[in-house]
Structure 1
Amino acid sequence: MRINRKSICLLALFFTKSGVAAETLEQAFTEAVNKNQRIFAAKANSQAAKQEIFAAQGQRLPQFNVSGGYTQLSDTPSAETHLDGNSVQFPISSAGSANAQAIISLPVFTSGRISHSIEAAEAAALASQHDETTTILNIKLQVAHAFIAIFRAEKALQVAQSHVISLKSHAKDVHNLYQQGMVARNDLLAADVELSNAKQLVLQQENSLQIAKANYNQLLNRDLMADVELIEQFPEVPQGDYVTLSQQALLKRTELSGLTAQVHALEEQAASVKAGLWPQVNVSGGYQYTQNKYQTYEGMWMANASVQWQIYDGSTAHRSDALNSQALAVNSQRNDLISAIQLQVRQAWLAIQETQKRVVVAQTATGQADENLKVRNEHKLI
């Protein structure tokens, strides 16, 4: 089988000598989403919020209660009457008796207390989903920063190592010139000091590279000392002016949607609490048994309809007002976040503009440096 040089390069790109497969930024994103503990926590919070919806909806369902017990009295309950002018007592139940009941109850009308509670739970669940998405995006952003930081550290290390090689050659030339008596000892010492400083910079860059790799591994929930091999492939630069990009950010950022849902959840909670001050209608029915040999029917079926109206409560209104105030606070946070997002987009857009201009300047400087090196070599300058 014939293998061309291109195939060999591709194989070398994906597999290193250590056997670690090189990975792209998208692969890093996928692994982070599947392994990062903060994302697991956010997903667990979303599941908990969904269960709160079921709990709120369960308030509309019938409740079935079974209870029983045994009561022992100090005296036998009795009734007193008068016959022919004489006082007569006769027992109406035993001193000790058992009782049991099975009751089913159903809320018929709650003045909106349950419906507002369900709305609040649904809004809170939606907020949790947005928080989960925000957490995933934040982790991806951190992974991207860590991904790029590794390349920056590697490039900085290469530059530092290249500088050491250059200074070694320079120090060797100065040493030869010193032996020939063409330069002073001070020039020799200066060359040695500059070389030592360059070697220290290499050590610093090597340490920075290891720290960058450890940070990357931590985000992917790996061993901090695991080998890291990356493919130098990055997303396209966003196109558009600042105004367009800012509008896109305000439409797509899940933090804003999450805070909006939180505001709605708090408002619905406040309405649910306040509805508790209005009439609550319940119906119930079941079977009751009371052990009593003096009673004709020890077990009886029953039905009941009840209305409860809490005319005044010293705390409910304040709890409702507190929730509304919390909603106002979250809404203010949302308004502040809008400004913060616009600032983030502005800073990122300006950074892109600056980088693009610096690339042009750096390319020009590189060309000038190459030309200068060519001239020096032609004239055999040191």
Structure 2
Amino acid sequence: MLKQTVYASMIALSMHAYAIDLKQSIDIALNQNYDIKEQQYVKEEKNANNNAAFAPFLPSVDLAYSFERRDETIVNQSKEDSVGSATVSYNLFNGFSDIFSLLSSNYVYKSSKYTYEATKQDIILQTKQAYITVLKQQKNLVTKEDALKLFNKQYEDARNKFDQGLIARNDLLEVEVQMLQAKQEVIRAKKELKVARLSLNNILSNALKTDEKLEELQYEELQYNTTKEDFINKRSEVAALKMLMDSYNAQENSDAGAFLPSIDASFGYYEYGDDRHIDGKEGYPENQEIAKVTASWNLFSGGKDINTVIATHKKKKQVYAQLEKLKLQIQLQYEQALEELEVAKLNYETAQVALEQAKINYDIVNNRFEQGVSKSSDLIDANFLLSQAKQNFYSAYYDKFLAVATLQRVMEND
């Protein structure tokens, strides 16, 4: 009966003209949260860098114009001259550095895509946690208000008995003190609810309206899967670090290209002038075409090249250490999430029984108080136990959803 009453109150709470459910909240967060937008921009930046890394595989085309005027001349030198040129150049070989640089850039871009997905998963969990916290604080406020109502009623009854000379003044004052404390608890609960809504609104980038109610959670949101194979290696964060390792491996090969020769080819078209106009120059052809092949090989660079390779290799080792550490952390998170879920289930079962007994206990003590058998302090204790039992029940109820949400994040389940 209690369970039906609780679920009925939850459904009634969701029947509101301005209601938002958990799925809608997650959709809003994924569309408007600034952490996700930041990672989206990072991903786009890495994509642009990846596209730029393809440029060395295409020829370079340059146009140039130069004009010189001299105050003094030497033999066979004119006072003024000008040169215009069009040059097409292309790198034929540079130790495969460009190929490996392109691979490295591509892996970095893929890593950013996985990081973006990991950020989305984090925001989904944060949204669920904030949403559930608001629901918990709503129930906490209702519980505190119910306790205050009971204290108000007890105070009225105690006041009447005091006026009739049936109880001492200290008994009345005891009830009044508890009633005032209950009012303070209501004020505190309102503040905690307001803070919880502000936290959720922050994740939703101010998309939560002031009068917008949150719909209750559905049973399907308690569904989870603990049998997903090899979920650790399929986590976005793990995949991102693996791509980063591949990137450093490719970059290491690219850096090693400095030990090999570089071969470049170019073709240029030139025209000359004996003033600022390119209209011919005495002793020069009307136009000139020059084809050139250049081979170069650095034999010594002061240890720069070898140390660059070593530094990149050490970066790769750092990422490997981060990757293995992350796998251990995820395994621990998984074990903790399973334990938290099991504890949440047991707590909920216990809280159900405790709430039923607390309600029965309050009814018994209240009847005895009205008959003059029990003292005010007995009814105060019964009210406190009932309020605590309600709070524990709702906390245990929502802790199940929190535990499932955490487990889903750890296993990266949809």
1:125 aligns with 2:109: yes
CA distance in 2, matches of 1:238, 1:10: 22
CA distance in 2, matches of 1:112, 1:295: 43
CA distance in 2, matches of 1:31, 1:225: 13
Rate the CA distance shift 1:354–1:206 in 2: closer, same or farther, 3 A.
same
Matching of residues 41-190 of structure 1 within 5 Å: 41-78=38-75, 92-190=76-174
Which amino acid in the other structure matches residue 280 of structure 1?
S
Decide whether the 8 Å contact of 2:111 with 2:244 is kept in 1. yes
CA distance in 2, matches of 1:265, 1:318: 18
Aligned-residue Cα RMSD (Å) equals: 2.3
Decide whether the 8 Å contact of 1:277 with 1:313 is kept in 2. no
- 1:168 Cα deviation after fit: 1.1
CA distance in 1, matches of 2:156, 2:35: 54
- 1:316 Cα deviation after fit: 2.5
1:304 aligns with 2:288: no
The gaps in structure 2 that reach 5 residues or longer are 1-8, 275-280, 375-414
1:231 aligns with 2:215: yes
- 1:338 Cα deviation after fit: 1.0
- 1:347 Cα deviation after fit: 1.7
CA distance in 1, matches of 2:73, 2:88: 32
Which amino acid in the other structure matches residue 236 of structure 1?
L
Decide whether the 8 Å contact of 2:14 with 2:216 is kept in 1. no
Q: Secondary structure at the match of 1:276?
A: helix
CA distance in 2, matches of 1:271, 1:320: 8
CA distance in 1, matches of 2:181, 2:266: 87
- 1:223 Cα deviation after fit: 5.6
- Cα deviation digits, residues 213-235 of structure 1 (max 9, x gap): 11111111126763331111241
CA distance in 1, matches of 2:340, 2:223: 12
Q: Secondary structure at the match of 2:53?
A: helix
1:34 aligns with 2:31: yes
Query: What is the match of residue 5 of structure 1?
Result: none
Query: Aligned to 2:282, which of 285, 294, 309?
Result: 294
Query: Aligned to 2:20, which of 18, 23, 47?
Result: 23
Query: What is the match of residue 261 of structure 2?
Result: 279
Which amino acid in the other structure matches residue 52 of structure 2?
A
Decide whether the 8 Å contact of 2:64 with 2:86 is kept in 1. yes
Decide whether the 8 Å contact of 1:213 with 1:228 is kept in 2. no
Rate the CA distance shift 1:60–1:140 in 2: closer, same or farther, 3 A.
same
Q: Count how many residue pairs are aligned between Structure 1 and Structure 2.
A: 354
CA distance in 1, matches of 2:284, 2:26: 76
Which amino acid in the other structure matches residue 215 of structure 2?
I
Query: What is the match of residue 257 of structure 1?
Result: 239
Decide whether the 8 Å contact of 2:252 with 2:309 is kept in 1. yes
Query: What is the match of residue 203 of structure 1?
Result: 187
Query: Aligned to 2:248, which of 259, 266, 289?
Result: 266
Q: Secondary structure at the match of 2:212?
A: coil
Decide whether the 8 Å contact of 1:290 with 1:298 is kept in 2. yes
CA distance in 2, matches of 1:279, 1:267: 21
- Cα deviation digits, residues 17-72 of structure 1 (max 9, x gap): xx52x122111111111111111111111111111111111111000011111112
CA distance in 1, matches of 2:211, 2:46: 38
Q: Secondary structure at the match of 1:294?
A: coil
**Identical-residue share of aligned pairs (%):** 24
Which amino acid in the other structure matches residue 172 of structure 1?
E
Q: Secondary structure at the match of 2:222?
A: coil
Decide whether the 8 Å contact of 1:249 with 1:341 is kept in 2. no
- Cα deviation digits, residues 288-318 of structure 1 (max 9, x gap): 2233533141420010111121122232222
- 1:123 Cα deviation after fit: 0.3
Matching of residues 282-361 of structure 1 within 5 Å: 282-291=264-273, 293-314=281-302, 315-361=304-350
Decide whether the 8 Å contact of 1:215 with 1:224 is kept in 2. no
Which amino acid in the other structure matches residue 330 of structure 1?
V
Query: What is the match of residue 82 of structure 1?
Result: none
Q: Secondary structure at the match of 1:166?
A: helix
- 1:285 Cα deviation after fit: 0.3
Instruction: Compare CA radii of gyration and give the structure with the larger one.
Output: 1
Decide whether the 8 Å contact of 1:131 with 1:258 is kept in 2. yes
TM-score between both structures, scaled by the size of structure 2: 0.80
